Structures are given as C-alpha cells and as structure tokens.
C-alpha cells in the first residue's frame, strides 16, 4: 500500500492514486471518521473517465498512523500539503467534505494556490467553513455549549452516536434518499475506522474553529455544494453563508439532501464536479 510521511512530525499516512497519471487531477479531503472509501462513487467514476483521483486517510483514520498529536487545523492542512508535494501535483481541483472543507481553506491560507486551480467545498459542517458556532463575527450562530454536549455524547458512546445519527446524516426521511439498510450499516461501521483519539480531537476542534475570515481571500474559482436538509450543518449558517463570503463562488443546492449527499446524491455530485473542472 502507498504511504507518505508528513512534513511536520513524520506521521505515515495512507493514500490512493486512481486513474491515469497524466489526467486532470482531483484531490479529495475526507469528512471526519471516514477514510478515502467515502469517495468511492466519485473517484471510481471520474478515474474511469480519465481523471487522476487522489485521496488519503487523515491521521488517526483508516490505514494511516494512530497518533496523539497533530489534530490542530494548521497541521491537518499541512498533511494535505505533504501529499500534494509528495506526488508533485499541480493544477489540481481540491475537493473537501465537512471538516475537509476547513482543511482545504486553511491549505490555501498557509500554502497558497500555486498548485490549486479550483476548490469544491461540499457539505460545510458545524464550526468549519464558516460553520454555525457562535463567534464574535457570527453572533447568530449556535451556542458552542450545544456542540460540546454532542461531543460528550460521542465520548460516552461512539457506536451509539454513529448509529443514532445515521437517519439524519442521510436525511432518510426525505423523498428520494434511498439507502438500503445494509448500506447504512456499512457506512456506520466505516465511521469506526477513526480512532477514539482522532474522533474526540476533531470534535474538540469544531467547538472553536472558524475560518470565515479566510474565505474572502480565496483567489481561485470555488464551487459550494450543500443539501437543504443537512442536520449537521444547516445550510443557512454554512453553505449559503460561505457562498456569500467567497468572491465569485458558485452555489449548488441539493433538494432534500443531508450531510451524506456523497452517497444519496452521488451521481449529481459527480456530475457537478465534472462540470466544474471542465468549465
């Protein structure tokens, strides 16, 4: 299996590299808890069409090293940079989901857009980019204590937390969001691919994280994708707000979609990414 080492602390991270090496390159940055398997519907389709699709398991996730440190946003964004540098990737489309959107934004802040042609921010999540958590520049946001209460529930019963959240994650109560019971169980089990340390550390990061001031400085084309029924990140506080803050961004709203739109709206997301890259 291919691995690379991070530039900050030598943590060994697993990555995948699908499709032709001379194809237009897409770098996928995962949500919390998931490894690169979360992008199977997008990666396999696009790689089959000649795109180069690259992704990696975040530290403490999937097949990457289980470590204690490095869960601050600067280090996580540095891990993205280490992968891009390791493979010497250029002219890339950087695609992030959930917490991966914050890592993508911070990557641009710290490392610039020299290797990045465009960015897609999918299902921006609580406290991320820019997130619903209340802050000095976002007074209408959610009380951080409520987010911390969710973190406490996670600490007490991780399996129960994942199982109880599955319906809302995929918005299964909304028309058209058909996910088989077996598939729901599969994705719940995939969440266990993140260690307890990694899951707790990212939950703690959410409480105070705010990259909203960085959004206005993005100097490449941006696609924002969000679902109307995202329980993890209400669209008005995240996707719509981010689209307003990012100069010239394009917002795609998926009717009835929840946070897990990469599954329920897989074909639509793949098509929008393809159109965005070819624009």
What's CA 243's distance to the chain center, in Å? 16
Pairing of strands 52-56, 116-122: unpaired
d(CA 29, CA 177): 24
CA angle, residues 261, 265, 270, in degrees to nearest 5: 100
| Burial classification of residue 144, based on how many CB atoms lie within 10 Å of its CB (0-12 exposed, 13-18 middle, 19 or more buried) | middle
What's phi and psi for 135, nearest 5 deg? -150, 175
d(CA 172, CA 179): 7
Active site residues: 98, 230, 259
d(CA 252, CA 259): 14
Q: Are 70 and 9 contacting, i.e. CB atoms less than 8 angstroms apart?
A: yes
Of 183, 182, 130, 191, which is closest to residue 160 (Cα–Cα)?
Answer: 191
Q: Are 59 and 6 contacting, i.e. CB atoms less than 8 angstroms apart?
A: yes
| Burial classification of residue 169, based on how many CB atoms lie within 10 Å of its CB (0-12 exposed, 13-18 middle, 19 or more buried) | buried
CA angle, residues 120, 124, 127, in degrees to nearest 5: 140
């Amino acid at each position: 299996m291919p691995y690379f080492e991070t530039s900050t602390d030598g943590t060994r991270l697993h990555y995948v590299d699908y499709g032709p090496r001379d194809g237009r390159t897409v770098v996928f940055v995962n949500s919390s808890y998931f490894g690169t398997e979360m992008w199977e519907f997008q990666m396999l389709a696009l790689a089959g069409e000649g795109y180069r699709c690259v992704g990696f398991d975040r530290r403490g996730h999937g097949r990457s090293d289980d470590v204690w440190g490095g869960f601050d946003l600067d280090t996580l964004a540095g891990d993205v940079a280490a992968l891009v540098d390791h493979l010497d990737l250029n002219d890339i489309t950087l695609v992030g989901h959930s917490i991966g959107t914050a890592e993508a934004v911070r990557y641009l802040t710290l490392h610039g857009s020299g290797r990045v042609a465009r960015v897609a921010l999918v299902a921006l999540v609580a406290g991320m980019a820019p997130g619903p958590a209340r802050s000095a520049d976002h007074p209408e946001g959610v009380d951080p204590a409520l987010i911390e209460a969710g973190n406490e529930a996670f600490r007490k019963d991780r399996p129960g937390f994942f199982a109880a959240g599955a319906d809302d994650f995929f918005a299964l109560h909304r028309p058209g969001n058909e996910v088989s019971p077996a598939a729901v169980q599969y994705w719940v089990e995939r969440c266990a691919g993140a260690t307890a340390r990694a899951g707790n550390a990212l939950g703690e990061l959410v409480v105070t994280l705010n990259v909203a001031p960085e959004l206005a400085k993005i100097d490449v084309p941006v696609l924002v994708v969000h679902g109307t029924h995202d329980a993890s990140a209400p669209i008005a506080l995240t996707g719509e707000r981010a689209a307003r803050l990012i100069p010239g961004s394009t917002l795609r709203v998926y009717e009835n979609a929840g946070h897990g739109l990469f599954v329920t709206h897989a074909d639509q997301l793949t098509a929008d990414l393809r159109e965005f890259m070819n624009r």
